[in-house]
């Protein structure tokens, strides 16, 4: 099967890292296309970035549909444009925040999200509410590490993340850690070994979940609100996003 793993920001260094981790998690026979939009913010760490990034995500989905992708992973912890992506795609689309939070709820009664800038904590809190995960989410801890500092190995960033995980485990009664940025995906194994608890990277988790759905023949429902968007004229900068009726 062919899965498209979308890094919704435009950092190609981060896309490389995400692709590596996605391939590490994927089963044999799964082809991973790791891509980022060619428009949008370099990193997503505010409501504004999140909103602007969505059109780039939808543009990638449009190309993915033309390339015969069987499913998609949205590899940004805000899951930007998730519901819209499901309307536009045939196959399953899973965001890394929803994948990681659900997985954490299978292995612990409570988890903490350790993320980047403190200002993004509320985004993760809103998602936990929206996904019905708020009763499992004991805390969302910011580290004040900018997303782009996670493009490459940074020992200081790792130490900061490790310290935040330790505080979450000792002060918030959490039994598992959810990594709150796709740029942290390469740290999961090392953190899990050091902390001795489940540390969940949403990139690998979402890849495995999409693979499972595709393998079982389960696609996105086209009944109701995830049906194809209604064709109509779009104007101005959005003109190219107007939908036409699907032919197949
Ligand atoms: C993210 C992420 O995963 N990618 C990005 O650009 N911003 N998440 C975050 N909490 O900062």
Task: Tell me the per-residue pLDDT of 87-139, one tens digit each, with 9 for 90 and over.
Answer: 999 999 999 999 999 999 999 999 999 999 999 999 999 999 999 999 999 99
Mark whether 174 and 89 lie in a shared domain. no
Convert the pLDDT of each residue in 61-75 to its tens digit: 999 999 999 999 999
Mark whether 103 and 185 lie in a shared domain. yes
Q: In this model, does residue 247 exceed pLDDT 80?
A: no
Percent of the chain with pLDDT over 90: 97
Mark whether 85 and 158 lie in a shared domain. no
Q: Is residue 246 part of a domain?
A: no
Q: In this model, does residue 37 exceed pLDDT 80?
A: yes
Q: Is residue 133 part of a domain?
A: yes
**Which pLDDT score, from 0 to 100, does residue 244 have?**
86
> Of residues 177 and 244, which shows the higher confidence score?
177
53 Cβ closer than 6 Å to some ligand 1 atom: no
Q: What is the mean pLDDT of residues 164-175?
A: 98
> Of residues 246 and 218, which shows the higher confidence score?
218
Q: Is residue 248 part of a domain?
A: no
Mark whether 180 and 215 lie in a shared domain. no
Helical H runs in 120-237? 121-130, 155-171, 188-195, 202-215
**Which pLDDT score, from 0 to 100, does residue 245 have?**
81
* Torsion over CA: 67, 68, 73, 78 (sign): positive
User: In terms of residue numbers, what domain contains 124?
Assistant: 97-202
Mark whether 234 and 175 lie in a shared domain. no
Residue for token pair 């036409």: 244
Mark whether 115 and 198 lie in a shared domain. yes
Percent of the chain with pLDDT over 70: 99
Whose C-alpha lies nearest to ligand 1, atom 7? Answer: 44
Q: What is the mean pLDDT of residues 1-22?
A: 98
Distance 54 CA to ligand 1 centre (A): 13
Q: In this model, does residue 246 exceed pLDDT 80?
A: no
Confidence of residue 240 (pLDDT cuts 50, 70, 90): very high
Mutate-to-test residue for ligand 1 from 37, 78, 141, highest number of ligand atoms within 8 A of CB: 78
Could you tell me the CATH number of the domain that includes residue 230?
A: 3.40.50.12500
174 Cβ closer than 6 Å to some ligand 1 atom: no
In the chain, the number of structural domains is 2
Burial 4-21 (b: 16+ CB within 10 A, else e): bbbbbbbbeebbebbbeb
Whose C-alpha lies nearest to ligand 1, atom 9? Answer: 181
Distance 70 CA to ligand 1 centre (A): 24
- Tell me what the pLDDT averaged over the chain comes to: 97
Mutate-to-test residue for ligand 1 from 36, 181, 185, highest number of ligand atoms within 8 A of CB: 181
**Which pLDDT score, from 0 to 100, does residue 248 have?**
53
Mark whether 57 and 176 lie in a shared domain. no
């Amino acid at each position: 099967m062919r899965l498209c793993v979308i890094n919704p920001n435009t950092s190609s260094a981060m896309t490389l890292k995400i692709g590596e981790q996605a391939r590490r998690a994927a089963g044999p026979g799964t082809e991973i296309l790791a891509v980022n939009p060619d428009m949008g913010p370099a990193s997503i760490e505010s409501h504004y970035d999140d909103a602007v990034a969505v059109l780039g995500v939808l543009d990638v989905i449009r190309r993915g549909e033309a390339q015969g992708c069987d499913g998609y992973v949205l590899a940004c912890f805000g899951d930007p444009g998730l519901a819209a992506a499901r309307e536009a795609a045939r196959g399953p689309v899973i965001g890394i925040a929803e994948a990681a939070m659900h997985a954490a709820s299978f292995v612990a009664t409570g988890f903490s999200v350790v993320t980047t800038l403190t200002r993004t904590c509320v985004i993760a809190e809103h998602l936990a509410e929206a996904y019905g995960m708020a009763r499992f989410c004991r805390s969302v801890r910011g580290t004040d590490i900018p997303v782009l500092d996670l493009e490459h190995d940074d020992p200081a960033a790792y130490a900061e993340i490790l310290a935040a995980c330790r505080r979450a485990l000792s002060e918030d009664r959490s039994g598992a850690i959810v990594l709150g940025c796709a740029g942290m995906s390469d740290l999961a194994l090392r953190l899990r070994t050091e902390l001795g608890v489940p540390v969940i990277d949403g990139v690998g988790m979402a890849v495995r979940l999409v693979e499972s759905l595709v393998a079982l023949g389960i696609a996105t429902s086209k009944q109701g609100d995830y049906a194809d968007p209604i064709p109509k004229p779009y104007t101005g900068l959005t003109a190219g996003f107007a939908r036409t009726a699907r032919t197949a």
